[in-house]
Amino acid sequence: MNLFADFDQRIKNALETLDIIKEKRSEVDFGRLTVEPPRDQSHGDVATNAAMVLAKPLGTNPRALADLISAALRDDPDVSEVSVAGPGFINIRLSTGYWQRLLAVMIAEGTDYGRSKIGAGLKANVEYVSANPTGPMHVGHCRGAVVGDALANLMGFAGYDITKEYYINDAGGQIDVLARSVFLRYREALGENIGEIPAGLYPGDYLVPVGKALADEYGPRLHNMPEEDWMPIVKDQAVAAMMVMIREDLNALNVHHDVFFSERTLHADGAKLIRAAINDLTFKGHVYKGKLPPPKGQLPEDWEDRDQTLFRSTEVGDDIDRPLIKSDGSYTYFAADVAYFKEKYDRGFDEMIYVLGADHGGYVKRLEAVARAVSDGKAKLTVLLCQLVKLYRDGEPVKMSKRSGDFVTLREVVDEVGSDSVRFMMLYRKNSEPLDFDFAKVTEQSKDNPVFYVQYAHARCMSVFRQAKDAFPDLDVDSLDFASTVGQITDSNELQLVAKLAEYPRLIESAALSQEPHRVVFYLYDLASSFHAHWNKGKEQPELRFVNDKNRELSIARLGLVRAVACVLRSGLAIAGTAAPEEMR
């Protein structure tokens, strides 16, 4: 039930009854007509630009047309007042009865209230995290993980058919490095003194148990093999071990993917899938052999001018053509990416979403080029870039250096502040905006901490129900007939709270369409704020309190309101992937 969709229809129906419209029906288009909440609540509950948009094609002026439309709208029994303002806005005020019935619907729909079909079952693939399986996840992965996960939840709620996917970069040079690093740890486990870890290998202690496991399983056998023989064995074990670790980290952050897709799948069988993808592009005329111009600005010292197999991505929107095959004959990472996109497209996805860090901004155009070339422009590809996160501890920036291995892991952050706080704060900013994350602030138990503030609102709702049980011991709160009591909701503050809840379905749709999960979190904060404000009024005016042991029916009606608030909070918190606690301790 979406109030604005409801009135969108009602206004269109009203328009159809007007003679001026009937006469020129074929010439007028309702496409630009909007129905939305007015900026200022004092204007009304629903506003439409209908008169301003339609005046011109109808050959009249907006104010005159607005008067005609208003007259038609006044016939609607749910409309209590219609006014024309400014250049021709039509402001509609709804009857109390309408709000009350709307509340009853919200309660009945529960946590499904706000669910939308706007995605129309479109198959969308959200790829996010995709951290290299060479070590534990570090804090830099946090934001993309949370944004991707919440976006997928949001789009799922808005009616898309969503697959959450993780691309395992388990091919290429870095995995060789990983395997060599593990092999060293294996030798160490066999009793050898390996000394300092040489530069160029991964020094982290997390590889020690992997080496030990190999020693336990194979004894000295690997040690006696040539590298080409032990390499595949060690690679498999190492990648598997890293992925176990990464999945544990993701679980700790409440991130759960549907599909883990291995890059090695693309390289299997003599790189069958990559070759197929390149052949496909070649067939479509997107591949040629040629030279790439050297990069503008400073020329790299080791620049080689040579023929390469190139993807003519400039013809599909890229700035420069991209190599598919390296000088040693192996495939570039980009070639695998082409194959991966094709694989997803062949799996039937209409839209691929990539959640990447801002440092991958330069990659966007070539991915879009891939989408155009592979799908002939039929598949949609969008990239969400997350700006960097800066960590602060008590106002001081936390220094990190990759080289020394001195980085903060995702796990450390989650263990210290909790996944709810991490997730909420990662969403409490537009993804295109850099983010400061202060350890002290996000764990603070006060209204200054938005995580706490929103969760506390939900806990308060639950607390109302506990109080209701004390006041009315015989009350079965799980089977109350709210619908017959909503007529008791007449206080203007209560009705405003209902109006706030009425914004939720529209918010879900616009957030999903614009792929901006942060909007949900901001809305939650707003809703929590309205709820807390109303609660506080109960201090000064006890008659406004939700539970009134002298008036059972009124209390039930208000419990209905509280339930509706709690459901929306729970629904939004679920999209964010954070808990809706029963109480705060």
Partner RNA sequence: GGUCCCAUAGCUCAGCAGGAUAGAGCGCAGGAUUCCUAAUCCUGAGGCCGAUGGUUCGAAUCCAUCUGGGAUCACCA
Binding residues among 158-217 for RNA as defined by CB under 7 A: 169, 171-174
Residue 174 structure tokens: 């870095």
Q: Which stretch binds RNA (CB under 7 A): 80-88, 223-231, 253-261, 392-400?
A: 80-88
Q: For residue 580, which of 420, 439, 443 has the smallest C-alpha distance? A: 420
Residues 6+ apart with CB under 8 A from 404: none
Nearer to RNA, 217 or 490 (CB): 490
Is 96 a binding residue for RNA by CB under 7 A? The answer is: no
Q: Which is nearer to RNA, 187 or 546 (CB)?
A: 546
Burial of 117 (0-12, 13-18, 19+ CB in 10 A): exposed
Q: CB nearer to RNA: give 175 or 189.
A: 175
Task: Tell me how far, at minimum, the Cβ of 117 lies from RNA, in Å.
Answer: 12
Pick between residue 171 and residue 215 the one whose CB is nearest to RNA: 171
DSSP-derived letter for residue 316 is G
Residue choice 166, 546, 561, 569 for contact with RNA (CB under 7 A): 546
Q: How many angstroms separate the CA atoms of 146 and 149, rounded?
A: 5
Q: Which is nearer to RNA, 349 or 456 (CB)?
A: 456
Q: DSSP labels for 378-425?
A: -SEEEEEEEPPEEEEETTEEPP-BTTTTB--BHHHHHHHH-HHHHHHH
Near RNA in 254-273, by CB under 7 A? 263
> Which listed residue (10, 11, 79, 89) binds RNA by CB under 7 A?
89
Nearest to 235 by CA among 248, 247, 222, 224: 222
Residues of span 272-331 touching RNA by CB under 7 A: 292, 295-297, 300-304, 319, 323, 326-328, 330
CB distance 62 to 55 below 8 Å:
yes
CA 458 to CA 452: how far, in whole Å? 10
According to CB under 7 A, which one of 225, 388, 440, 471 is a site residue for RNA? 388
Q: Is 85 in the site for RNA (CB under 7 A)?
A: yes
Stretch that binds RNA, among 203-211, 279-287, 357-365, 396-404 (CB under 7 A): 357-365
* Buried b or exposed e, range 382-406, using 16+ CB within 10 angstroms: bbbbbbebebeeeeeeeeeeeeeee
Pick from 15, 72, 91, 202: which binds RNA (CB under 7 A)? 91
- Reduced to 3 states, what is the DSSP secondary structure of residue 348? coil
Of residues 126-155, which lie at the interface with RNA (CB under 7 A)? 132
- When binding is defined by CB under 7 A, the residue of 185, 429, 500, 563 that contacts RNA is 429
Inter-CA distances, 62 with 51, 291, 308, Å? 5, 61, 63
Does 411 contact RNA by CB under 7 A?
A: no
Alpha-carbon dihedral of residues 473, 478, 479, 483, nearest 10 degrees? 100
Pick the closer one to RNA by CB: 251 or 432. Answer: 432
Residue 235 binding RNA, by CB under 7 A: no
Q: Toward RNA, which CB reaches closer, 139 or 189?
A: 139
Q: Which of 162, 222, 384, 459 binds RNA (CB under 7 A)?
A: 459
Q: Residue count at the site for RNA (CB under 7 A)?
A: 97
Per-residue b/e over 505-538, b at no fewer than 16 CB within 10 Å? bbbbbebbeebbbbbbbbbbbebbbbbbebbeee
- CB of residue 313 to RNA, shortest distance in Å: 12
Query: For the sheet containing 287-290, what is the strand order?
Result: 287-290, 308-311, 322-323
Question: Any contact of residue 40 with RNA (CB under 7 A)?
Answer: yes
**406 contacts RNA (rule: CB under 7 A):** no
Q: Please tell me the distance from the alpha carbon of residue 325 to that of residue 328, in angstroms, as a whole number.
A: 8
Q: Which stretch binds RNA (CB under 7 A): 191-199, 207-215, 238-246, 442-450?
A: 442-450
- The piece of 16-24, 340-348, 424-432, 484-492 that touches RNA (CB under 7 A) is 424-432
Interface with RNA (CB under 7 A), residue from 421, 518, 556, 580: 518
| Residue 371 found at the interface with RNA (CB under 7 A) | no
Question: What interhelical angle do 227-252 and 208-218 show, nearest 10?
Answer: 130
